[in-house]
Amino acid sequence: MIYLNKIGYNCGDHILKIAVVDDDKALYGELAAYLKELLGNSAEIKGFISGEAFLSDWRSDHFDLIILDIYMDKLTGMEVAREIRKTDNNVKIVFSTSSNEFASESYEVNACYYLHKPFGIERVKAMLDRIDITGLEKMRAERLPDGTSVVLRNVIYADCASHYVTLHNKHGGDTVVRLPFSVIETSLCAYPYFFSPTKGIIINFYEVTAQRDNTFCLSNGITVPISRRKLKDAQYAYSSFLFEKLRNGGEG
C-alpha cells in the first residue's frame, strides 16, 4: 500500500519511523502533533526525553528520520548525532534549536536541517519539504539476521546457490550472505515490491522493464522465469504494483 497523507506526501510502501529526542515534554508533544497533522497515518513517531534514553533504544537502520534537540542535559544533541553516525550514515538527522551556535559542527554529522524553535506547522512543513520526505523510502535499509544492512531499492534481484544468497545491486557491487533463502525471502517479500516468481529467485518490481508471457525482464538485462504454479500470483502482484505506482504519479 502507498501511504498518501492529507497534504500529499508520498511516504512509500511502509510507514516512516521518526524519532523525536527532546527533554522538554511540552515541546516534544507540540512537534509530534504537527508531524501527525502533516503526515497522518504514514508516520510512526516515537519520543525520547534524553539522549541517553534514545541511545539505549537505538539500533542502526531502525529510524528514517531523527529530530534531536541540541541543548539537553548530559548528552547534547550533537553528541548523540556523533554516536548515531558511528553505525548509520543513511538516517536523516535534523537538529531542533533556538540558536545557530552549532551550525558549523552540524556538517560533521551530515545533519540535513535546522528546525528553529518555537515550532509552528509551517516551519515543520518546510522541514519535511527540504529533507525530501518522499525520498526517504528510496534510502530505506533492511538489516538481515546476520547483521548485513541492505538498501532495499538498490537491489535488482536475489538468487541462491550452495547455501549462499547473492543480492545483485544497482550500485556498490553485489552483496553475498550465508543465510537460508527462506530468511531472505521473508525479509524482502515483507515489502510489496519484492516477489519470488520461481524457486530461489526474488525480484524487485521497480527494476522490471517488461513482463513477457512467463518471464520478467530486469533493468540489468537479466530475464527471470515465472514458474507455472506462480504465474497467476505473479501477474496479480505485478499489476497491483503498477496500479499503485500509477496512482502515485508513476514515481519510482
Domain ranges of the chain: 16-139, 141-247
Residue 51 is predicted with a pLDDT of: 93
Over the stretch 71-108, which tens digit does the pLDDT of each residue have? 888 888 999 999 999 988 878 899 988 766 655 566 67
Cell of 77: 544533541
pLDDT at 201 over 60: yes
Whether the CB-CB separation of 181 and 159 falls below 8 Å is answered with no
Report the CATH number of the 16-139 domain. 3.40.50.2300
pLDDT at 24 over 70: yes
CATH superfamily to which 141-247 belongs: LytTr DNA-binding domain (2.40.50.1020)
Q: Residue 225's beta-bridge partner residues?
A: 215
HSE-CB at 62 with a 13 A cutoff on CA atoms is: 13
Over the stretch 135-182, which tens digit does the pLDDT of each residue have? 666 667 778 888 888 888 899 999 999 889 999 998 878 999 999 999
**From CA 9, how far away is CA 4, in angstroms rounded?**
6
**From CA 92, how far away is CA 196, in angstroms rounded?**
31
Q: Do domains 16-139 and 141-247 have the same CATH topology?
A: no
Strand 155-161 to 164-169 pairing: antiparallel
Over the stretch 213-232, which tens digit does the pLDDT of each residue have? 899 999 999 999 999 999 99
Q: What is the pTM of this model?
A: 0.60
Cell of 125: 512543513
Cell of 232: 497467476
